[in-house]
């Protein structure tokens, strides 16, 4: 069908051109037959003959297809960024640039890090927005950049560890080795006597170590999963371990050494407690119950709503307070580390009136 339509279109184009040539020719001959002077006839010919010639040229040209009419010419544009990602295979060294080859090590004398690095090259002077302009970046291990002569700031990151160096480029190839002075930290926590803690209930936060101000430490990494390796610069860090979301919290200062993996296991003295409000011991839990847990000093620890209130509590003495249909019930209980238990609060026992409720 495509071939037949193209043929019909070419016939229509040829027929239209023949009509145009005939019309122009007759028009010219009509002017010559008119009773004008010789100079007037020559003037008319000067107008008509180019029209006839143009029609002949159009008739000799091949027909234009619909695809050719819609096609746009291909324009070879230069790269929008002269500092393209060096990993791109099509990237070629620019004229008047020198090659900078970069490698990184955990400590002096260690082998080169082969993966997991993030390289960034910045302009050494801040722009109008007071920020350093990013010129080039790369991921992986050892990398290379092609840069014009000048001064640059090169930063390499390996997890949360990093190092920065000012490098001045001249003609020729330059090799630079960056020493991260970093190691790894792997965290876990257990119960006394090595009891396991469900990983979904365990999280760590890593802070800067600040002996002068324990209450205002800078958070470095939140929500670290157990047994995951975190890369950090050499130094001492303050680690906080949360077992559950209540008050089972322990802290420790841990030292990270360059080129080493430090594995630290912390110990929680806590247990999981599930509370329910029942009409009789061993009975069904009552729905629409609001729960509050306070410690021995009367400080609130955790609140919950539902037939069951499950939480992890640090070892110690507590009071469970249940409110159901404007009635309040309570029970003292004790948490022993590693001993998960169910705490029942009896709804037929003594109760305290809710706010505004009369005892009459």
User: What is the per-residue DSSP string for 228-274?
Assistant: -EEEEESEEEEEEEEESSSS-EEEEEEEE-TT-EEEEEEE--EEEEE
Q: Rounded to the nearest 10 degrees, how much is the dihedral formed by the CA atoms of 258, 199, 197, 331?
A: 130
Looking from the CA of 268 toward its CB, the CA atoms found within 13 Å total: 30
- CA-to-CA distance for 7 and 18, rounded, in angstroms? 17
pLDDT at 93: 53
Q: What is the pTM of this model?
A: 0.67
Looking from the CA of 77 toward its CB, the CA atoms found within 13 Å total: 5
- CA-to-CA distance for 142 and 13, rounded, in angstroms? 64
Name the stretches of the chain with pLDDT < 70: 1-95, 211-215, 349-360
Sign of CA dihedral 347, 349, 355, 356: positive
pLDDT at 227: 97
Contact residues for 123 (Cβ-Cβ < 8 A; gap 6+):
132, 133, 135, 152, 153
pLDDT at 287: 94
Residue corresponding to tokens 């680690």: 239
pLDDT at 216: 77
| Alpha-carbon separation of residue 150 from 103, 167, 168, 312 (angstroms) | 20, 8, 6, 59
Looking from the CA of 307 toward its CB, the CA atoms found within 13 Å total: 7
Contact residues for 17 (Cβ-Cβ < 8 A; gap 6+):
55, 58, 59
- CA-to-CA distance for 132 and 115, rounded, in angstroms? 26
pLDDT at 126: 86
Q: Which secondary structure element, helix H or strand E, spans residue 177, and what is its range? A: strand 174-179
pLDDT at 13: 45
Angle ∠(181,186,191) on CA atoms, nearest 5: 150
pLDDT at 130: 86
pLDDT at 127: 83
pLDDT at 64: 40
What does the buried/exposed string (b/e) look like for 77-95 if buried means 16 or more CB atoms within 10 Å of the residue's CB?
eeeeeebeebeeeeeeeee
Residue corresponding to tokens 């157990």: 226
pLDDT at 215: 64
| Alpha-carbon separation of residue 28 from 32, 57, 208 (angstroms) | 7, 18, 97
């Amino acid at each position: 069908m495509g071939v037949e339509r193209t043929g019909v279109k070419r016939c229509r184009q040829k027929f239209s051109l023949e009509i145009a040539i005939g019309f122009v020719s007759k028009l010219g001959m009509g002017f010559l037959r008119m009773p004008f002077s010789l100079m007037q006839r020559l003037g008319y010919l000067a107008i008509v003959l180019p029209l006839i010639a143009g029609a002949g040229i159009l008739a000799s040209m091949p027909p234009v297809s619909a695809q050719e009419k819609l096609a746009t010419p291909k324009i070879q544009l230069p790269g929008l960024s002269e500092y393209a990602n060096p990993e791109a295979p099509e990237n070629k060294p620019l004229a008047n640039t020198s090659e900078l080859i970069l490698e990184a090590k955990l400590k002096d004398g260690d082998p080169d890090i082969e993966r997991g690095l993030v390289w960034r090259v910045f302009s050494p002077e801040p722009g109008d927005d007071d920020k350093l302009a990013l010129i080039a970046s790369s991921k992986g291990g050892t990398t290379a950049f092609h840069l014009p002569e000048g001064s640059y700031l090169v930063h390499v990151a390996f997890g949360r560890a990093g190092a920065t160096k000012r490098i001045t480029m001249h003609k020729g190839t330059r090799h630079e080795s960056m020493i991260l002075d970093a190691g790894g930290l792997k965290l876990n926590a257990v119960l006394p006597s090595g009891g396991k803690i469900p990983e979904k209930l365990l999280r760590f936060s890593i802070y800067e170590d600040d002996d002068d101000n324990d209450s205002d430490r800078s958070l470095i990494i939140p929500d670290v999963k157990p047994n995951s390796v975190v890369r950090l610069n050499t130094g001492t860090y303050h680690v906080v371990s949360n077992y559950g979301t209540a008050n089972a919290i322990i802290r420790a200062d841990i030292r990270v050494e360059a080129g080493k993996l430090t594995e630290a296991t912390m110990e929680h003295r806590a247990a999981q407690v599930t509370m329910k409000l029942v009409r009789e011991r061993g009975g069904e839990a009552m729905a629409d119950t609001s729960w509050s847990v306070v410690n021995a000093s009367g400080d609130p620890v955790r609140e919950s709503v539902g037939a069951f209130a499950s939480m992890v509590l640090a070892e110690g003495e507590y009071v469970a307070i249940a409110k159901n249909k404007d009635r309040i019930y309570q029970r003292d209980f004790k948490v022993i580390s590693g001993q998960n238990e169910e705490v029942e609060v009896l709804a037929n026992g003594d109760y305290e009136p809710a706010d505004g409720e009369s005892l009459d």
